[in-house]
Amino acid sequence: MNSTANYPVENLHEFCVNVLSAAGVEKSAAEIISESMLLSDLRGVDSHGIVRLPAYLARIEGGVLDKDGPLEIEKESGAVALINANNNFGQLAGHKAMHLAIKKADYSGFGAVFVKNSNHFGMTAYYSMMALSYDRIGFAATNSSPAMNPYGTTVPLLGTNPLSLAIPADGELPIVLDMATSVVARGKIRYAALIDKKIPLGWAVDKDGLSTDDPRKALAGSLEAIGGVKGSALSLMIDLLCGVLTNTALTGEVKTLTDPSGPSLTGHLFCALNPSFISDTQQFKQNVDTVIRRIKSLPAVDNKPIFLPGEIEHNLTCQRKEEGIPLKPDVVSSLNQAALRYGLTELNNIKTIKKEAI
């Protein structure tokens, strides 16, 4: 029987930091990378969570990710800056870039920080949400490796190129949009392939352009864009901003997380907007509350709960902080193998909160 084991967040964080540190990552950097992965797991974005740790380690071990690459501010003027990640972790570059964007929004009202020569940075909402504690509106986007056919073509060239927008509220939960430009993030299909689970029809097509529920055939084919031509166009625009504008890579040149042939060549964009430069911040947050309550007061389809963007993920975060993060046996096995390579404690030796059949 396939079953999950639920692990306390604190224990998983310690596990991640220990493994990354053993791989030569500075502890403060390991803390950021671990925080990013585990926030993904807490919010139910399991495809970008701790499951990615072995892939990051493989890139370090293969010499295609430079864990010591300096994060350099290459250009800076007013509200705009460009950071060269020098092939270091995307999480570290993103963390630095978003803080810089927030700082720029303090005195310019708006900050836009681009990142070049980076790597996969995990869950996009991790960065947009950083702005919320400063009462700022946060935005983040990244390009990624080819996964979608440009509309009207038959060859995957566009990435799923996700974006996230986080808007603060007052008494209500902040509104957090986190979406790929494909129907589903490719990481979810990779995750389905890892645990040998079928995917819903409509997520992807195989190499012949036929709809498939086989995640392996989907990975060899193309993901479906949201809204057809609109999703395809949005993906292209993000790629032009993150990859082409930063002179990191042309469309179609980003490498997948699991491609050991060379650096990922990923680019990112992080923005922060200070509402006080437009109107009164507190009034804005109260107005957001009013909009949220207005939406929730509308008649619901089949009397089902009405959720705004980010609300389901927030509720799941609260649940998983209490009940633990569920990991499937295949994921645990992969993490254990990584730990053993560095002579560290396996997850099997960490006390779980509960086990349940699913």
pLDDT tens-digit series, residues 35-93:
999 999 999 999 899 999 999 999 999 999 999 999 999 999 999 999 999 999 999 99
pLDDT attached to residue 195: 86
pLDDT attached to residue 2: 59
Given a contact cutoff of 8 angstroms between Cβ atoms, the answer to whether 16 and 98 are in contact is no
Return the HEC string of 74-86: EEEECCEEEEECC
Which contiguous run of DSSP H or E holds residue 223? strand 222-223
pLDDT attached to residue 207: 85
Give 75's contacts (C-beta < 8 A, 6+ positions apart). 81, 82
Residue 270 pairs with which residues in a beta bridge? 113, 140
Residues of the chain with pLDDT under 50: 1, 356-358
pLDDT attached to residue 357: 41
Residues in the chain: 358
pLDDT attached to residue 152: 85
Hey, what are 270's tokens?
Answer: 């992080």
Given a contact cutoff of 8 angstroms between Cβ atoms, the answer to whether 187 and 150 are in contact is no
CA distance 255 to 250: 11
pLDDT attached to residue 302: 93
Given a contact cutoff of 8 angstroms between Cβ atoms, the answer to whether 65 and 263 are in contact is yes
pLDDT attached to residue 354: 60
Tell me the pTM.
0.92
